[in-house]
Amino acid sequence: MAKNGKTSFISPSCGVLTPKRMIEEIRKFVESDQSSRYRLVIGTDSQVRRLNGTPHCDYVTAIVIYRTGRGARYFWHKKKEKTPSVLREKIYTETTKSLEVAELLVPSIREAISPVRYDLEIHIDVGPLGETRDMIKEVTGMVIGNGYTPRTKPGSWAASSVADRHT
């Protein structure tokens, strides 16, 4: 994730936004209903594709501000990278990308919106069923070690549903 201001996020309702403008949109959403509780969620999903016969991996990170029980706004960022050689590398990269976005955005979000107003979660696209079940402790440990609350399937909807929509 670029820290040089060249990173952009896409909003279905606002189009392409700078990180600063995205944070302003999140702030406005939270301020529009001050009696509600919010969840700020970051999650990444990926998809391997072929471009001119060469495989690459699209990583999409979603940032969701969820007004508990009453709607949400989301933003996403896509980056193409080399294809990971194994599933473990792909899952580690997804988790790392979510943590990089958190590192980039959370300090500014905390300046714009009191952390008392929202819970912050990192959603990881792993779960108790399937090939990723053996990685749950490893990647949740990465997230906890960085000071965030992890969520895995079936509760990791920002990664497995929102980000997945744009991979």
According to the model, what pLDDT value does residue 73 have? 97
In order along the chain (167 residues), what is the average pLDDT of each group of 10 residues?
A: 71 96 97 95 93 89 95 96 91 97 96 94 96 96 98 95 90
Q: Which two tokens stand for residue 149?
A: 């609350």
In this structure, which long-range contacts are made by residues 84-89, counting pairs with CB atoms below 8 Å and at least 24 apart in sequence?
Answer: 84/57, 87/131, 87/132, 88/135
**Residues with Cβ within 8 Å of residue 131, at least 6 apart in sequence:** 87
pTM metric for this prediction: 0.93
Cα Rg, the chain, nearest whole Å:
16
